[in-house]
Amino acid sequence: MADITVTFADGTSHIYQNAPDSLTPDDVQARASKEFGKSIVKLDRTKADQSGQTVAPQQMASQIPGQVSTSQARPEPTMQDKIMGYVEAPAIVAGNIGRLVTTPIARMYGEAVRGYGTPEGRQAGEQMAQTVSGQFYQPRTETGPEVVGEMAKVLGSVPPTPLTSAGTALSTLTSPAVRQLGAMVAPSTTAQKMAALLKAPEPKMQGMGAATVDEALAREVRAREQGIRLTKGEKTQDLGQLQFESDIAKEKPELAKALIQFKEGQKGDILRRFEQLSNETGAEFADPTAYRKVGTIVDKSIVKQFDNKNTLVDNAYKKAREAGETKEVVDTAKLEQWLVDKAPEAISVPEIATIEAKLNALKKATNNQITIDDLENLYKAAGQLGEPGKSSGTFMREVKGVINDMTEGKGGDLYRAARTQRKELANDFENTYRVAKLLGTRGGYGDRAVALDDVFSHVVLDGSLEEMRTVTKLLKKGGAEGQQAYAELQGQTIQYLKDQLTKGPSGQLSFAKLNNAIETLDREDKLTYMFGKQGRETLVELRDAVKDAIVKPPGTVNYSNTGNVVLRGLDKLAELHFPLAKTASEMAEKSQLSKKVEEAVKYDALTKALSK
């Protein structure tokens, strides 16, 4: 029996443990390729000797009855390994670029052939993507991908390929690398066109006309990824086409039914996408009317955690008192000096004077023999007097800090353990403004400080990222209930973005309001914090797709009702004075406009690009 280490071209490895010593490397490679779908560069066998000690790895393979995944450091590459890595680096770079360019487009093209949104279409798209991806060069060494990674750190420079120094040992690598590199660089006509589509467009002079085909394709791909349909004008951003689509819907609605229905469906696409993203967060109540419900869920989790921890603190202090550890007398000179220093502020912050009065009363009642117990009561009084976000909150927090300093090192082990728990409670709940306000009376307020309807805004919108984290970190640590509360905040954030989008006049969508909401949240990385980098990118891509759909360049919308040039030309034909002129005009109008409307809703940028 032995352990088999399979090393993949991307530098990762997988160990099959306790494998019998029977089968061939081909058997191992076949199984690993099937399970992981990665290119394999090395198979090592590590076998225990009779004493139970492992011996050095050997190149081999065996039958594999079971498996354990792990990450294992591989030996330092030799100079020969490094040279071989440099040899195939250009082929890896070229293969990665080709795969990046063509695979997504191949997937979309395959789906288009068999039908967008259908199981057959998705299957055809995936098959075409896999076929195209598999045509490009696959790494054969461990060091090749590392070389490529280092290249990315040096401004994308390509290292030299030392073929002449490699000797005959490189022949098994050099030949296939060069052959596949040549095949990749000169692929099929379709693949060449796909690669050309994403080349950076040549700079244009201002006013030189429509966008290039590759820009239209980029918009189409982005919109399809978000499930949003676009018209021809919205894909190409051609001013004349956009003017036609705007004018025909207003001036000839009977001929523009397909376009009008298309735009109605587009609006539904956009709103459904926001709903889909909201559902993906795991939220159960995200809805325009759910702000109070979400606030209740968040509030319940925070309050429950506070009450549980506060009970633990009270019990810890109770044990310390019962053990007699809170009867030690403490010098109050430090607090008395603080009160003297803050006398001017006490004029406008009466809570300072209240603390002084309570201290004097304690001194009188105990004949200046104030114990830890007495100071703990004074600490609680300061917590009740201070209101977070106001001057009283600031100064009462200072009072509690002074008392903590005075009792540091006093009492026994039980008391010190109780103090530690109380500090943690204060740091998590009382000394953080966003949390303390949510706690209502528990946070030092006489009444609920944040209405349940406003909890979402209080946590997500109103404060900084750091302030938001003080709440969300508690939710994440709050078990299933707290984690669901956090999911509700995530879902309601998507709902909030949708709400901003739908605030346009007369039921129209407002890109400006959506964009402002996204930029505000993104300014402090709140989107990344709440949804991760990929989630943030999805929201930004959705915003851009919405912009393509509803934001029109200046001059697109005809406010003067002078009509599009096509419509004006047809009207001119109707004005000619010859028999059947009006009938001819109507026929020509219906034919031409119907054709343009059909093209507006069925235009396919990918097919157009590949036909050139």
What would the pLDDT profile of 191-210 be if each residue is shown by its tens digit? 455 445 544 444 444 444 44
Most confident of 57-66, 90-99, 376-385, 489-498: 489-498
Q: What is the pTM of this model?
A: 0.61
Q: Does the pLDDT of residue 570 top 60, yes or no? A: no
Phi-psi region of 411 (alpha: psi -120 to 50; beta: other; left: phi over 0): left
Per-residue confidence band for 288, with pLDDT thresholds at 50, 70 and 90 = confident
- Across the beta sheet with 40-47, the strand order is 13-19, 2-8, 40-47, 58-59
The Cα-based distances of 220 to 98, 204, 523, 549 in angstroms read: 20, 21, 28, 11
- Whether 419 and 321 have beta carbons less than 8 Å apart is answered as no
Whole-angstrom distance, CA of residue 403 vs CA of residue 400: 5
Whole-angstrom distance, CA of residue 389 vs CA of residue 412: 35
Going 103 to 104 to 107 to 110, the CA torsion angle's sign is negative
pLDDT of residue 64: 35
Whole-angstrom distance, CA of residue 113 vs CA of residue 173: 38
Q: Report how far apart the first and last C-alpha atoms of the chain are (Å, whole number).
A: 60
- Whether 320 and 528 have beta carbons less than 8 Å apart is answered as no
What is the residue whose two structure tokens read 């703990």?
376
DSSP per residue over 239-264, as a string?
HHHHHHHHHHHHH-TTT-HHHHHHHH
Question: Burial level of 120, CB count in 10 A (0-12/13-18/19+)?
Answer: exposed
Per-residue confidence band for 383, with pLDDT thresholds at 50, 70 and 90 = confident
Question: Burial level of 281, CB count in 10 A (0-12/13-18/19+)?
Answer: buried
Tokens of 541: 């891509």
Give alpha helix (H) positions in 386-478. Answer: 391-407, 413-425, 433-438, 455-456, 465-476
- 3-class SS letters over 562-607: CCCHHHHHHHHHHHCCCCCHHHHHHHHHHHHHHHHHHHHHHCCHHH
pLDDT of residue 26: 74
pLDDT of residue 196: 54
Whole-angstrom distance, CA of residue 290 vs CA of residue 243: 40
What would the pLDDT profile of 431-466 be if each residue is shown by its tens digit? 888 898 888 654 444 557 788 999 999 999 998 999
What is the residue whose two structure tokens read 């002078």?
562
pLDDT of residue 101: 60
Angle between helices 79-114 and 143-153 (to 10 degrees): 80
Tokens of 148: 């490529």
pLDDT of residue 7: 84
Q: What percentage of the chain has pLDDT greater than the value 70?
A: 65
Mean pLDDT (the chain, rounded)? 77
Tokens of 408: 């540091």
What is the residue whose two structure tokens read 């490189």?
170
Tokens of 477: 């640590």
The Cα-based distances of 53 to 47, 50, 190, 309 in angstroms read: 8, 7, 57, 50
Whole-angstrom distance, CA of residue 227 vs CA of residue 266: 9
* Residue among 76, 86, 133, 144 at smallest CA distance from 107: 133
Whole-angstrom distance, CA of residue 235 vs CA of residue 240: 13
Residue spans of the domains in the chain: they are: 2-59, 79-192, 213-271+556-610, 300-449
Residues whose CB falls within 8 Å of the CB of residue 358, separated by 6 or more in sequence, listed in order: 378, 381
Give alpha helix (H) positions in 79-160. Answer: 79-114, 119-134, 143-153
Q: Does the pLDDT of residue 558 top 70, yes or no? A: no
- Arithmetic mean of pLDDT, 387-409: 90
CA angle 347, 353, 356 (to 5 degrees): 145
What is the residue whose two structure tokens read 């036609």?
244
What would the pLDDT profile of 166-182 be if each residue is shown by its tens digit? 333 334 444 444 344 34
DSSP per residue over 314-353, as a string?
HHHHHHHHHTTTT--B---HHHHHHHHHTHHHHTT-HHHH
What would the pLDDT profile of 230-250 be if each residue is shown by its tens digit? 999 999 999 999 999 999 988
Question: Burial level of 253, CB count in 10 A (0-12/13-18/19+)?
Answer: exposed
